[in-house]
Amino acid sequence: MNMKISIIQSFQIICLLVGTSFFVSCDDFLDRQEDEKLTFDKIWETRNNTRSYWLNSMSFLPNDADDFNYSPWLGASDEGSVTYDRDTRWINFGSWNASSVPYYKMDFYYKGIRECNIFMQNVDRCSDPIVTKEELAQWKVQSRFARAYYYFMMMRIYGPVFLLGDELLDFTASTEDLYRPRNTWDECVNYVVSEMEACINDPAMAENYSDAEKGLATKGACQALIARLKLYSARDLFNGNKLYSSVINPVTDKFPELSGVHLFPQEYDANKWLEAAKAAKALIDNPLYKLYRAGDGSDPYANYYGITQEHWNSELIWSTGYKGRYTMGVHTVPTGISGTAYGGVGPTQQQVDAYAMSNGRYPISGYSGTNPVIDTQSGYSEDEFEKTTWEYPAWGGAAAYDLNAPNMYKDREPRFYVSVFFGGNKWHHGSGMTLISFAKGGNGNKSHDYPKSGYLINRFYDHTLNSASGQWGNIVFPTFRLAEMYLNFIESVLECKKRNVALPSGYETQAMELWADLRGRAGLASITDVYPNATTEELIELCRRERRIELAFENHRYFDTRTWMISKEVDGGPIYGMNTQFPGSGDETPDGFWERVAFETRVFEDNHYLYPFSQRELDRNKLLTQNYGW
């Protein structure tokens, strides 16, 4: 087995192997556990068992390459739709509550935190003479990283949570003795940031790793998490949000420092934007990372497709793993391709409309009912469904070809063609090209497995291989990459300028240079050339659009719309696509398919910005304050 695969996949599977022999797992983070003493001491007697426990502590890290299938990040944002009957529907249709929490994982992450604490407090006991001090130190700092990462995973959906530090909860205590209030948002942020900084300063945390250890956290991964968390903390959801002014801890003499305190910041702090800018700049200035470009960088299609095609490329800061593409591929390949295909994960019409034209201008500025409001300077055709013959671009190993298709898809920017597959086009799989129809009864819409929007995600399938013969390839999912840091920095600098926060010399100039570099990689003119008279507020909106396109389907949009607090406008209401219910057959796409229709109407209320704590935890922990509106 390839070592790169084994060390990363071990994080996901070792829990089952170790858990059954070393400890009895708990159902949630306040459950009592059985006595582990009988086997616990033996763990630290051998290098193999110690390493296995370390891998177990890391096994709670997410598998981002599966996230659209086992989390709501794509299917419950306005960028995408997941056709399968998943918990995502609870969020989209407003049917979730404290008794029905979709993809509930709070107990899972607290269990991971406990395992990290146990490991870090005992790893130095390892008495096996074949283990080295360097190995033990590396395992220890990796567990410290994972522990902080688990907190981050909860904070982004719950807001402030319980901070345990190095504490191991005494599961022999009474339930009442285990009551505890939540820490504040700023306390949680400061804790995660300080833990990541401690990891960065630990000599055992490397800048980079050999191929055999790819997937381990690096100093850059720690800094990237700091940058993302500080960005979220500066945005409206967590920065003086008045909705949360009533979310207060109960009064208790057991935790006087947390008694009766507001859990969320009560006043807006514009200086948090400067902290976010500095955190992103630390990675931008790191010579280890460069925007990925294929060859001489002249092909924007290869440049963008290569981000998820070229393993461990120069842009990747950290990935949750080198994974087989099967899960991502099988859910995004149309059913018209022979072999295993469940193609039902795709972009919405709103996401399709978001892409720029080849001249760099965004064609759709809003909507009048179902009709788009068109920027006449963009070159987008007002007769968007008129079919004309135009050249579909070459990328992913295929040659360009003439395509008779609606003007809607003509002359768009390269990232559009790499990311979005539309009906009436040919799906490229290895040396094969198969025409696909998403009309009802067409070869891409033969059963319940079809894209409700009439579009499929294009960029995570390896088009150089033929999935029909079982070839799927591998992917290094871009959990953190340099382009995100560019966009974090640009947004933060613009927000500082808007709010009169003094910027260090050169920050604004560098932000515009980075933006030009990012768009240049995608074959587009700089934003200041395309929109020379844009105000600071308009540039902020344009930066948000750039982020939506550049980071599409990488598990960002869900959190972006929420932390910007625009979800009521964009994640609720009608979600549009093409008319996939219009009858068709075979590979022909009938004219009736080309119509903007609402394939579902989603619900988003003020309380949906954050997850509710489960009713079970509320019943068991009388000091737990529920989130707003639940």
* Residue 467 contacts residue 340 (beta carbons within 8 Å): yes
pLDDT exceeds 70 at position 529: yes
In sequence order, which residues have a C-beta less than 8 Å from that of residue 127 and are 6 or more positions away?
A: 44, 45
Residue holding tokens 């925007």?
Answer: 291
Residue given tokens 């009388």 in the structure block: 622
Nearest to 85 by CA among 74, 75, 96, 98: 75
Q: Give the pair of three-digit tokens for residue 382.
A: 């007002």
pLDDT in tens, 404-423: 999 999 999 999 999 999 99
Contacts of 545 (CB under 8 A, 6+ apart): 354, 356, 362
Asked if residues 413 and 391 have their Cβ atoms less than 8 Å apart, the reply is no
Predicted confidence at residue 172, as pLDDT, reads 72
For position 173, what pLDDT does the model report? Answer: 75
User: Using 50, 70 and 90 to split pLDDT, how confident is the model at 395?
Assistant: confident
Q: For the segment 10-49, what is each residue's pLDDT rounded down to a tens digit?
A: 554 444 333 333 333 333 433 434 444 448 899 999 999 9
* Local structure of 622: helix, strand or coil: coil
Tokens at 565, concatenated: 């607090």
Residue 92 has pLDDT above 80, yes or no: yes
Q: Strand 387-392 vs strand 401-406: parallel, antiparallel, or unpaired? A: antiparallel
> Count of residues for the chain?
630
Give the other-Cβ count within 10 Å of 273's Cβ: 26
- What is the predicted pLDDT for the residue at 321? 78
Kindly indicate the confidence band of residue 168, based on its pLDDT and cuts at 50, 70 and 90.
confident
pTM exceeds 0.75: yes
- Indicate if the pLDDT at residue 269 is higher than 70: yes
Buried/exposed 206-218: b ≥16 CB within 10 Å, e otherwise: beebeeeebbbbb
Cα–Cα separations (whole angstroms), residue 221 to 194, 218, 283, 577: 14, 5, 9, 37
**Average of pLDDT values for 538-550?**
98
Residue 528: which of 510, 545, 515, 541 has the closest Cα?
515
pLDDT at 9: 52
Helices (H), 170-325: 185-201, 219-234, 271-284, 300-309
Taking the CA atoms of residue 511, residue 514, residue 515 and residue 518 in that order, the dihedral angle to the nearest 10 degrees is -160
Taking only the tens place, the pLDDT of each residue in 472-500 is: 999 999 999 999 999 999 999 999 999 99
pLDDT band at 175 (very low <50, low <70, confident <90, very high): confident
First-residue to last-residue Cα distance in the chain: 48
Please give the Cα distance from 505 to 287 (Å, whole number).
Answer: 21
